[in-house]
Amino acid sequence: MTDRPNILFINTDQQSWNAISAYNNPYVHTPNMDRLHGNGVSFMKAYCSDPVCAPARSSWMTGRYASETGVPFNGGCLHAHLLDLGQILNSNGYRAFHCGKWHVDGRDMRQSFHNLYTGQRDIGAGGGEYYDSASTHAALSFLSTYDNHNPFYLQVGYVNPHDICEYLHNHEQKTIPDSVVQQTVGESALPPLPENFEYDVGETLLQQVCRRHGGALIHDKIRRAVQRWSDLQWRFYIWNYYRYVEKVDYEIGLLLNALAQTDLAENTLIIFSSDHGEACASHQMFQKFTLYQESIRVPFIVASLGDCFGLQKSSFDHRHFISGVDLLPTICDYAEAKIPQGVQGHSLRPILKGQKTDWRTFAFIESNYWGRAIVTDQYKYVMEYLPADDFVPLGPDPTRLGREQLFDLVTDPFETTNLSKELPYQSELKLCRKLLWTQEEKLNRHPLTHHRSQETISSWRNTLRQAWVQANLATK
């Protein structure tokens, strides 16, 4: 292959790593995601940079972690000095196009990409039922008519299965009977409750304040509603989630069929991933915003309908830890575009070519501004920082260490037993802390100056500090 390839990035919203039937999930049918796997490599240790939409997407577009981008939560503001993927590609001989959901707060997509379709108003949190079909048709028109001599980069951002959030919001104001009472679906068709339906009561205080306590910072109305759910209602929620996955799989199938019918297919590299996962009742949790595996682990497939990229098709990579920050350097590598200084990710191209490479030995994830996690081959470490008074994302700072969790993912893959206070595991705990702080030393953080970001941090910080006062009083 002498010409630079076309690159197609297909992304879904809120899809957990295992919500694909090719990965032996019997509760969902995804023939088109299976087709991607059949034409490429599935990375089974892929993690988002942060389990919420805007932070994860800011990492995709910059190759940096959310504490560096200025978008550590929805409603942040991408630092103006950071180049994004569209700007890089358009200045390096590519025509970079965007279609569908964007949600990189603080950056006007139209200033960085050629816009195929984003709705009359930019696509927000929901509406996949409508927007995804429109995005597909815009992409089909593009693929069937593209005749520019320059290679293209096209990213298609689908909303689903994010519409599971709208299903949850429906329960805020009304009581909805379970599906068996409604005779919507038979009980035998419902997936079982997850093995980790119960949760560690010693979670970080950040997690409890954000998601568990009365007046929770994030989606408290839904939290109150699900507290009244029966087991059948929880199972029906999981069942619905898989239906939204199947809806977006159908759209992906139309896209792949259209590409296959063009002369572009042979020289088009396809990357498929999701911004973050979905809790799906694990740890009695819903949506994302947590550092449990279901929320942070995502699908990541590199594929091609042709044979010119030398991919080992229908293969699984269980070895390499992949992060959302790796998207930009991978695309830049294939596009022969210079990777900006300060990028945290690495190109997957050497791995895909079967070359030996010095690769990271763990995944690093951030959440809810003060939360952090490290995932190694055996252990999962979760911690929180105690809030500081300024607006610079924390780390590394051992003096502000809050509560911790440690899980042995080999013997306890569902994260049910917190080992952080167990004497035999203190050496592993210290090693995980060291890995986390070593990673954080490499980050390039800047103060968050946007008023919206500062208002969010101030509000959350006050609530967290009150919770810490109450927790300390309770232990005396």
pLDDT tens digits, 137-194: 999 999 999 988 899 999 999 999 999 999 999 999 877 777 776 767 889 999 999 9
Cα dihedral value 259, 260, 264, 269, nearest 10: 80
> Which one has a higher pLDDT value, 184 or 235?
235
Indicate the Cα dihedral angle 390, 391, 393, 395, nearest 10°.
-10
Mean pLDDT of 16-24: 97
What integer pLDDT is reported at residue 173 of this predicted model? 83
Distance CA 194, CA 30 (A): 20
Length of the chain: 476
To the question of domain 363-474 being in CATH 3.30.1120.10, the answer is yes
3-state secondary structure of 137: helix
pLDDT digits (tens, 9 = 90+) for 2-12: 489 999 999 99
SS3 25: coil
**Residue found under tokens 């997690």:** 207
The Cα-based distances of 303 to 9, 13, 36, 266, 270 in angstroms read: 10, 19, 6, 11, 5
- Residue 47 pLDDT more than 90? yes
Of 178 and 440, the structure prediction assigns the larger pLDDT to 440
pTM: 0.97
Residue 104 above 90 pLDDT? yes
| DSSP one-letter string for 372-406 | EEEE-SSEEEEEEEPP-SSSS---S-GGGEEEEEE
Helix, strand, coil shares of the chain, percent, nearest 5, are 40, 15, 45
Domain boundaries, given as residue ranges, for the chain = 6-166+234-352, 363-474
Q: What is the pLDDT of residues 407-437, one digit of tens each?
A: 999 999 999 999 999 999 999 999 999 999 9
pLDDT for the residue 1: 39
pLDDT for 277: 98
> Can you spell out the DSSP letters for 225-275?
HHTT--HHHHHHHHHHHHHHHHHHHHHHHHHHHHHHTSTTGGGEEEEEEES
Q: CA of 71: how far to CAs of 46, 235, 336, 393, 447, in Å? A: 21, 33, 28, 10, 11
Q: Provide the sign of the torsion angle of the four alpha carbons 262, 268, 272, 275, taken in this order.
A: negative
Residue 26 CB burial class (10 angstroms; 0-12, 13-18, ≥19): exposed
201: CB partners within 8 A, 6+ apart: none
**Tens of pLDDT, residues 261-280:** 999 999 999 999 999 999 99
The CATH number corresponding to 6-166+234-352 among 3.40.50.9100, 3.30.70.380, 3.40.720.10, 3.40.50.300 equals 3.40.720.10
